[in-house]
Chains A and B, each alone.
Chain A
Amino acid sequence: MTQAECVECGADVDLYDDLEVGEIIDCGTCGAELEVIDVSPPVLDRAPELEEDWGE
C-alpha cells in the first residue's frame, strides 16, 4: 500500500495499489475529498466541491 500527502491537512493518506486517475477518495484524518490526479507516483488534489445551498 502506497501513501500520498493530503493537500488539505498534510496527513499521509493510504492508497490502494489499483488506484485510478480521477478516482475520488477521502482523507482519514480531515475527511477532505481528494481526486487522484496521477498514479505513478500518486498525486492528490482537492476534489471539486459540490456547491450546496444549505438554506441556513
Chain B
Amino acid sequence: MSGADATATDADAHDADAEYTAGVIGGTGFAGGELLRLLAGHPDFSIVQATSRSAANKTVGSVHPNLRSLDLRFTEPSDLESVDVLFAATPHGVSMERIDAYFEAADTVVDLSADFRLPSAELYDEWYEGHDAPEYLERAEYALPELNRENLAGADLIAGGGCNATATILGLKPLVDEGILGPETGEVVVDVKVGSSEGGAGGGAASSHPERSGVVRPYAPISHRHEAEIGAYLGLDVSFTVHAVDMVRGASATCHVFPDGPVSKGDLWGAYRGAYEDEPFMRLVSGGGGVYRYPEPKAVAGTNAGEVGFELDASNKRVVVFSAIDNMMKGSAGQAVHAANVALGLEETAGLEFQGLHPVGSP
C-alpha cells in the first residue's frame, strides 16, 4: 500500500499484525462510520483509507465522535488506494458506476448499497432505475451468511442486504426451509418498524427532529424495494409495509403468516432451532421468562445479533413471527463484515463480538 500523508501516521487504524488491508468508501455516512468502528476493532483488518467527498482531509473523529481515537483522515474518493478488501457505503447508484475502479483497487469488494443485491437486470428495471453494470450481477453474492454462507466463501463481490429485507428474511427463512411457507404455500403480511438512521445521515424535511420525533409513520405502505430481495431469495411474495418509529437504530419485523395446513408449536420450534441453533449471531427469543420475551431492537443495539421469535395463533390459523436487528449492524455494516469474514475464511465472529448494553435507553 502507498499511504498518503493523511493516513500514514495512523496508529489505531493500521494494525501491523493484521492480515488484510481495508478501505471504506463513503466513510462519513452512518453505515460507513459503523464499518470504521468494526474494522478498527477487527483483529484481521487494518484500515488504509476512508474516503469522503464532503469531509476530505478532516479527521474521522470530526464526523464520528465515537471514533476520535482513530488517527485517520478522510481522503477524496477519486484517489483509491490499493487494498485487499474495499467496503463501499455510498448511496445507491454509485457503486454500479464505479465498480471497475473498485476492482482495480481491491481484490474483494463489499458493497452495502442496493446496487448488486438483486440477481437480474430485469429486477433492477422493475424496482430501481435500471442497472449500469449488469454483467456483475451474476458474480455478486448476497451478504447474509445465514442465507448464503456456502456461496460467500471465496466470493469477491459481496452485496449487502437491505435492513428491512434482512429482518424479514431472518424471520421467515426457517418456515421456508421447512416447507411451511413457499411460493405456492401460505400467505404473509409483514409490518416493519424502523429507526431514523435507516434514512441515512443526509436527512431531509421528514427527518428533522421536530418532524421525526415521536412518529409512527407508515413511510412505505406498499411496494417497498426490499420486497424484491425477499422475493428473490426466499421465493415469497409478501405484503410488506414499513413504519418509521421513534428509534435511532433498529428494525423490528412482525410477520403474520397464514400457512395452508396445520402447524404445531413443535413444528415451529423444530424449524427455528434447526435453522439457527448453530448460528453465531442468531438468538431465539420466543415467549420465555423475563421482561424481554420476544425480539427487541433495544437488546441488539450496536451488535450483529439477530433475534427471532414466534407465537402460534391456532384459533386464527396464524403464526406471528417477530425479528429484531440493529439496522446499522446486522442490517448493514455488521452483515458486511460478517460476510467478509466468511469470504476470507476468517473467524466468523471476528470484530463482531460486542454483546450490547443492558439497561439502555432508546437505541
Could you list which residues of chain A lie within 8 angstroms of chain B, going by C-beta atoms? 8-11, 26-27, 29-33, 47
Contacts and interface: CB of A to CB of B under 8 A. Distances in A.
A32 B284 CA distance: 11
B240 to A, nearest CB: 24
| Main DSSP-derived SS at the A contact region | loop
Nearest to B269: A9
Contacts of B266: 10
B269 A31 contact: no
B273 A31 contact: no
Contacts, number: 39
A30 B265 CA distance: 12
| Main DSSP-derived SS at the B contact region | loop
Interface string B272-292: 010001000000111111100
A7 to B, nearest CB: 10
Contact of B289 (A10, A29, A32): A32
B288 A33 contact: yes
B270 interface: yes
Given A8-B269, A29-B273, 15 more contacts: A8-B265, A9-B269, A9-B273, A10-B270, A10-B273, A26-B288, A26-B289, A30-B269, A30-B287, A30-B288, A31-B289, A32-B288, A32-B289, A33-B288, A33-B289
B273 A32 contact: no
Interface in B238-286: 265-266, 269-270, 273, 277, 284-286
Interface of B: 265-266, 269-270, 273, 277, 284-290, 293
Nearest to A31: B288
Contact of B269 (A10, A26, A33): A10
B328 to A, nearest CB: 26
Contact of A31 (B270, B277, B286): B286
Nearest to B289: A33
A28 B160 CA distance: 31
